Structure 1
Amino acid sequence: MRILIRGAGDLATGIAYRLHKSGFEVIMTETEIPLTVRRTVAFSRAVYEEKAQVEDAIAELINTPGGIDEVLKRGNMPVIVDPKLKYLKEYQADVIVDAILAKKNLGTTIHDAEFVIGVGPGFTAGEDCHVVVETQRGHMLGRVIHEGSAIPNTGIPGVIGGYSIERIIRAVADGLYEPVVQIGDRVEKDEIVAYSGGKPVFALMGGIVRGMLQSEVRVQTGMKCGDIDARCEVEYCYTISDKARAIGGGVLEAIMEYFNKHGRKM
């Protein structure tokens, strides 16, 4: 069974990892310039590095759908730049998982594949997808929703290590983004961690840099560009998060439930 995942950011990567380890053929699509903050645990990195490894799984960049089978035969996952799904028919996917996490639907329809899953807010089960998987931290994280939508986006980052808004690094001016520190570095409150549009970006708290945009990406004021973790566990910078694994489990559950009900072999 072949599964297409729209998006290859850190949460989409958590989904891809669980499906890949469960024996499914997984293909991922991305934009030309990925804006993944937690890029050390994201297959989107393959777009500008050609290959990306997360834990013990590898994704490879391909230029056309013609390269899919070769990558799958190597036991890896193909990543292709195709944000608008112009190659949809060539993918021959049984399942589409929209894990772009844009907080809105960017074009996925319930008719794109036999089974379509919307991840997070912006989708309605039974309308633009078959089921929705909850992405908000808390009791419902990873829940499969058969009717209705996920919890609306609050605009407030989830609490990690006792911090919420403070842990996010945001651009302070439009222009090119230039990190001063790297993922895995320890920083202190009020330390300069990057420049955006030539202006300094200061850390709002101390901790370990868990996420940071790559250099020379064009950003806008207020855009999320990094993430600081007060727990100060370096391992967390290089392993899939609990949130991503939970969402991946929800997607896996939805797929197994659907195809078992319809008598399809995995």
Structure 2
Amino acid sequence: MKNKLVMNGPVVLVRGAGEQASGVGWVLAKTGFRVVMTEVAVPLMVRWPVCFGTAVSEGRWQVEGVQASRLEDHKECEAAWRAGEIPVLVDPQLECLSLLNPLVLVDAIMAKRNLGTKRSMARRTFGLGPGFTAGVDVDVVVETNRGHNLGRLIHQGAAQPNTGIPGEVAGISSKRVLYSPKAGIFRAKRAIGEQVSEGDSLGEIDDGVRQEEILSLCNGVLRGLLRTDTPVAEHVKIGDVDPRGQEEYCWTITEKARALGGAVLQGILESGILSPLCNHE
């Protein structure tokens, strides 16, 4: 029989419940923190099978054995934690902040800009990626750019600027990620986990005047795809083809998200705010 996840540590509020945020939430929940995640009412998630934010539409969602549940009231969080589940609140403005009083706040929205996070919001604040300055609007910035410095904790200054170029996977960069060519309604023609070839139609964008096909730019497994009938703006990420072709990667947390989770955990432990655990002789 599977043991229930025990979450009885300090409260950590994670802003965002997308792919990278879910990696952070998963690591912290597995290590005993009482994680609560906040999202917008209609989150855009290409890799939604591995996002706790999918609980916003589904009510409940599981990622690698960790359950998340959408809650309508922050007062339900304690019951969720006792059940070994991560609460997900639709609260992009953090109206729950003073009520939950988190020890740690992690901005993992990955918006490439700060959407309102302040150092005063918790004893220790983290910002993932560009858009934050350590020592100014957060205590610690976590580097999110793939490569040598991925997961590095930055205590003064900012992360590497957004290049607009996806990191390489199996030697392929820009061609593995698909963006909407215009605003409209995205309709999927393929499913996550399917093998696709360069030139295959993965879906279409309908702007009410005409439909425009979305074609795969490389061979591989369709690792991420927005759900059908999703409204999108122009140049929004809508798909992700993994050239390594391993279907199991579609249903598990990436090495990047897991590394970011580990980096935040390190940052919490080394900060001294958990002194009974960290500073024993």
TM-score (normalised: structure 1): 0.97
Q: Are residues 1:16 and 2:25 paired?
A: yes
TM-superposed CA distance for 1:221, in Å, is 2.4
Percent of aligned pairs sharing the same letter = 42
Mapping of residues 62-101 of structure 1, within 5 Å: 62-101=71-110
Question: Which residue of 2 is the match for residue 204 of structure 1?
Answer: 217
Question: Which residue of 2 is the match for residue 259 of structure 1?
Answer: 272
- Which of these residues, 96, 120, 124, is aligned with residue 133 of structure 2? 124
Question: Which residue of 2 is the match for residue 111 of structure 1?
Answer: 120
- Which of these residues, 220, 224, 227, is aligned with residue 240 of structure 2? 227
Question: Which residue of 2 is the match for residue 35 of structure 1?
Answer: 44
TM-superposed CA distance for 1:173, in Å, is 2.5
AA aligned to 2:94 is L
Q: Are residues 1:135 and 2:148 paired?
A: no
AA aligned to 1:227 is D
AA aligned to 1:240 is I
- Which of these residues, 143, 153, 160, is aligned with residue 144 of structure 1? 153
Q: Matched residue of 1:125: which SS? A: coil
Deviations 1:103-134 (A, max 9, x none): 01000001011111111111111100111111
AA aligned to 2:101 is Q
Deviations 1:159-184 (A, max 9, x none): 01111110112212311111111110
TM-superposed CA distance for 1:259, in Å, is 2.6
AA aligned to 2:63 is V
Aligned-partner Cα distance in 1 for 2:151–2:59: 30
AA aligned to 2:46 is V
The two structures, once aligned, show a CA RMSD in angstroms of 1.2
Aligned-partner Cα distance in 2 for 1:222–1:131: 30
- Which of these residues, 42, 48, 56, is aligned with residue 57 of structure 2? 48
Q: Matched residue of 1:210: which SS? A: strand
Aligned-partner Cα distance in 1 for 2:134–2:116: 15
Q: Are residues 1:172 and 2:181 paired?
A: yes
Q: Matched residue of 1:111: which SS? A: helix
Question: Which residue of 2 is the match for residue 158 of structure 1?
Answer: 167
Unaligned runs of 5+ in 2: 1-9
Aligned-partner Cα distance in 2 for 1:193–1:53: 26
Aligned-partner Cα distance in 2 for 1:89–1:9: 23
Question: Which residue of 1 is the match for residue 34 of structure 2?
Answer: 25
The more displaced of 190-199 and 134-143 is: 190-199
Aligned-partner Cα distance in 2 for 1:170–1:123: 25
TM-superposed CA distance for 1:84, in Å, is 1.1
Aligned-partner Cα distance in 2 for 1:66–1:203: 45
TM-superposed CA distance for 1:265, in Å, is 4.9
- Which of these residues, 215, 219, 244, is aligned with residue 257 of structure 2? 244
Q: How many residues align?
A: 265
AA aligned to 1:59 is A
AA aligned to 1:145 is I
Q: Extract structure 1 runs of 4+ deviating beyond 3 A.
A: none
Aligned-partner Cα distance in 2 for 1:147–1:65: 33
TM-superposed CA distance for 1:36, in Å, is 1.1
Deviations 1:216-244 (A, max 9, x none): 21112221101000100011000100001
Q: Matched residue of 1:155: which SS? A: coil
AA aligned to 1:66 is K
TM-score (normalised: structure 2): 0.92
